[in-house]
């Protein structure tokens, strides 16, 4: 069964129940993503206008329980090692819950800055894996913490420039193939750093527009399959370079909606697959950028509610499609 409408109450219920799956093996095997999952769930709820569906105090307490005192940042779960990925999620959650005062911001900033490599890229943790994803996490987090001034912007931008390919896209490291998720992190990082002149807008717009496949869905690279999460990666980049109209938004909306689980809620990577909170957020986020009626505006640069970012004076010059009216 498919639905032509976003089944908001069902998705809210799905997210609320995620924490109750403790007799499901998968729940435990994904503990290394728990804090990220909380961020995905909370943001999806916020975009659907139901941020209160999860208990605020409980959530803040959980975030703080993930604090890694030795490293001075957040792990994904209590007693897990600190990592940039989970640290950004923690900060995003605390800001959305207006609880940043609970954190030792100085230590977090120190942790983040310590991970920048001589080349300008960031490692994810002290074990040194490098990727433009981590660079984005660092830039995003520093910006949210109001501490971007302490970053070596030139070095950072220079690395991003070296990751740009002739097709307009960006890869995970210097020399890597363009990939829609890496395009998002690089373009969003440049947006935060106010350095969008590093982007070849026309070429990138072309490459991103060509990600749409005949079934309306978007893929992440040429000659690959569509996947709901690319709805966000591609759309966020398109909205930052103001080219969302270059794809067919109706067809993409239909595709995202067709990947909903119409019985138990949640959105999957493709129609008929198992749902998860990751694809649920990126499906909802994509729909928000496409102006889906009734949704809250999403800031494509930070992947957080636009109002939260505006309140902190961080809004960049992006363009989503105008919000459509709810048809009666």
Partner 1 sequence: MHGVKRVKQTPEALEAKRQKERAKIHEFLDLSDKLLTRRKDSDFSEESFKLTTRLLHINPEFYTIWNFRRNILTNGLFPGSTQEKVNNILAGELMMTMTALKSHPKVYWIWNHRRWCLENVPFGPGEEGSETYQQWRTAAWDNELFVVERLLDADARNFLAWGYRRYVLASMPVPRSDASELAYTTKKIGANFSNFSAWHQRSKVLTKLWADGTLNEKTSREAEFDLVTNAMYTEPADQSVWVYHRWLVGSNPGKSLLLREIKSIGELLEEQPDSKWCMESIVHYARIFLKLYPEDGAAAGLRERTHQLLRELQELDPFRRQRYIDLRTTV
Contact residues for partner 1, defined by CB under 8 A: 23-25, 28-33, 75, 79-81, 83, 125, 127-129, 165-167, 171-173, 175-179, 205-207, 209-210, 212, 221-224, 227, 243, 245-248, 251, 261, 263, 268-270, 272-276, 279
CB of 106 to partner 1, least distance (A): 24
- Alpha carbons 194 and 292: distance in angstroms, whole number: 28
Helix (H, G, I), strand (E, B) or coil at 9: helix
Least distance CB 183 / partner 1 (angstroms): 13
We find the least distance from the C-beta atom of residue 75 to partner 1, in angstroms, to be 7
Q: Min. distance of Cβ 7 from partner 1 in angstroms?
A: 15
Q: How far is the CB of 135 from partner 1 (least distance, A)?
A: 15
Q: Of 25 and 325, which has the nearer Cβ to partner 1?
A: 25
Q: How far apart are CA 325 and CA 62, in angstroms?
A: 37
**Minimal distance in Å, beta carbon 35 to partner 1?**
12
Residue 137's nearest CA partner among 97, 171, 176, 91 is 91
Nearer to partner 1, 102 or 224 (CB): 224
Q: Report, in angstroms and rounded to the nearest whole number, the Rg of the chain calculated over CA atoms.
A: 19
Query: Rounded to whole angstroms, what are the CA distances from 253 to 218, 259, 320?
Result: 11, 10, 14
13 or 312, CB closer to partner 1? Answer: 13
Q: Give the CA distances from residue 259 to residues 214, 280, 293, in Å, rounded to whole numbers and listed in that order.
A: 16, 9, 18
Residue 319 and residue 191 in contact, taking contact as beta carbons nearer than 8 Å = no
CB closer to partner 1, 215 vs 312 = 215
Tokens describing residue 45: 């709820």
Q: How far apart are the first and last CA of the chain?
A: 23
Shortest CB 56 distance to partner 1, Å: 27
Nearer to partner 1, 130 or 190 (CB): 130
Q: Show Cβ contacts of residue 146 under 8 Å, excluding neighbours closer than 6 positions.
A: 312
* Residues 177 and 139 sit within 8 Å (Cβ to Cβ): no
Q: Please identify, using beta-carbon distances, which residue of 202 and 310 lies nearer to partner 1.
A: 202
Partners of 73 in beta bridges: 68
CB of 208: closest distance to partner 1 in angstroms? Answer: 10
C-alpha distances (whole Å) from 138 to each of 152, 158, 182, 186, 232 are 12, 15, 14, 12, 20
- Cα–Cα distance measured from residue 304 to residue 155, given in angstroms and rounded to the nearest whole number: 27
Report the distance separating Cα 280 and Cα 81, nearest Å.
26
């Amino acid at each position: 069964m498919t639905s032509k409408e976003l089944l908001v109450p069902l998705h809210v219920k799905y997210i609320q129940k995620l924490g109750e799956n403790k007799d499901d093996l998968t729940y435990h095997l994904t503990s290394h993503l728990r804090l990220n999952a909380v961020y995905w769930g909370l943001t999806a709820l916020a975009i659907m206008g139901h941020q209160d569906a999860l208990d605020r105090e409980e959530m803040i307490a959980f975030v703080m329980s993930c604090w890694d005192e030795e490293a001075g940042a957040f792990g994904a779960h209590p007693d897990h090692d600190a990592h940039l990925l989970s640290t950004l999620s923690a900060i995003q959650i605390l800001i959305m819950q207006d609880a940043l005062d609970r954190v030792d911001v100085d230590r977090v900033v120190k942790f983040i800055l310590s991970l920048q490599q001589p080349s300008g890229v960031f490692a994810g943790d002290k074990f040194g894996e490098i990727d433009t994803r981590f660079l984005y996490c660092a830039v995003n987090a520093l910006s949210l913490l109001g501490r971007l001034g302490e970053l070596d912007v030139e070095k950072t931008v220079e690395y991003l420039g070296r990751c740009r390919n002739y097709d307009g896209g960006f890869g995970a490291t210097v020399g890597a193939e363009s990939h829609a998720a890496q395009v998002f992190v690089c373009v969003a990082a440049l947006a935060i750093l106010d350095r969008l002149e590093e982007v070849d807008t026309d070429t990138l717009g072309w490459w991103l527009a060509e990600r749409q496949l005949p079934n309306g869905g978007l893929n992440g690279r040429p000659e690959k399959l569509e996947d709901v999460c690319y709805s966000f990666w591609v759309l966020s980049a398109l909205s930052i370079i103001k080219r969302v109209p270059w794809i067919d938004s109706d067809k993409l909306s239909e595709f995202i909606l067709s990947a909903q689980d119409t019985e138990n809620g949640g959105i999957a990577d493709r129609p008929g697959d198992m749902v998860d909170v990751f694809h649920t957020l990126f499906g909802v986020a994509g729909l928000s950028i496409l102006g889906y009626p009734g949704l809250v505006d999403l800031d494509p640069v930070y992947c957080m509610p636009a109002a939260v970012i505006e309140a902190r004076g961080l809004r960049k010059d992006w363009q989503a499609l105008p919000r459509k009216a709810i048809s009666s």
